[in-house]
Amino acid sequence: MPQISTPVWLITGCSTGFGRELAKLVLARGWRAVVTARDAARVADLAAGAEDRVLALPLDVTKPDQVAAAVAGAQERFGRIDVLVNNAGYGYQASVEEGEEEKIRAQFDANVFGLFALTRAVLPVMRAQRSGHIINITSVAGLIGFPGSGYYAASKHAVEGWSDALAAEVGPLGLRVTCVEPGPFRTDWAGRSLVQTPSRIADYAETAGARLKATAENSGTQAGDPVRAAEAMIRVTESASPPRHLVLGAWGFEAVTERMRARLKEIEASEAVSRGADFPAES
């Protein structure tokens, strides 16, 4: 992102967790921000004393009219958007077999299709500027599928793959894309942003069932600090060479690097089979 004295941030999901802490830090720096939540009353306090720099708006990313209104409001008030933070979303936990169709689709509407829609609405603004940074909050689950989190992981994997394509398309235009992949953080994710379908099949008691139980029991004791996570996101936007991936938290870093090394080893072990699937080389 170019060095602009008061960049404009558009942040979704600012009522709690990462979104709220990030909005507070952005505003503490004297920058401008569009802060959003499904209920705008829950973010109105962020504008107190800084009304000239803050626009608090209702935004449910699954509602196209609200997506359009948020982007139009940002342009009307500030004339630009320098950073888009796609933070809105929630978790859905269930064993794969016991997943409920309505809940699966609702999660994808918020975590995937809503994120896609808002980004599409912001891209014309950033393209015209020839600058901008898109930060997609995914999860360690966007790189690793854990038992009990198959559908949540699928939504985050979708955003990761989509972000690869987006980065390739907009990079030459001066835009940057970063996926932030937090591990366990001490937000109220389990209390406010998690839906579960309890596992009642005995065969899954030690896998999906155990993970669902642990998620609820460990809320509030996670090692990750959401304020430090927000600070890390700001540093990414100030970097001349921002990372495409930013894993946050020691647990997440260790889990992801271990899984990536194991995956590469597995792929390389089948190299002969992989190469053998091509037509034979002509002599």
Beta-carbon count within 10 A of 228 CB: 12
What is the rounded CA–CA span in Å between residue 263 and residue 273? 16
Closest to 74 measured CA to CA, from 125, 108, 114, 24: 125
Q: Say whether 204 is catalytic.
A: no
pLDDT digits (tens, 9 = 90+) for 164-200: 999 999 999 999 999 999 988 877 655 567 899 999 9
In a domain, 32, yes or no: yes
CATH of the domain at 158: 3.40.50.720
In a domain, 278, yes or no: no
What does the pLDDT read at residue 191?
A: 55
In a domain, 55, yes or no: yes
Q: Which domain holds residue 70?
A: 8-269
Selecting among 92, 151, 152, 204, the annotated active-site residue is 152
Q: Give the β-pairing of 194-196 and 132-137.
A: unpaired
pTM here is 0.94
pLDDT digits (tens, 9 = 90+) for 3-52: 578 999 999 999 988 999 999 999 999 999 999 999 999 999 998 888 99
Closest to 133 measured CA to CA, from 235, 237, 231, 234: 237
pLDDT digits (tens, 9 = 90+) for 116-171: 999 999 999 999 999 999 999 999 999 999 999 999 999 999 999 999 999 999 99
CA 8, 10, 11, 13 dihedral sign is positive
- What is the count of structural domains for the chain? 1
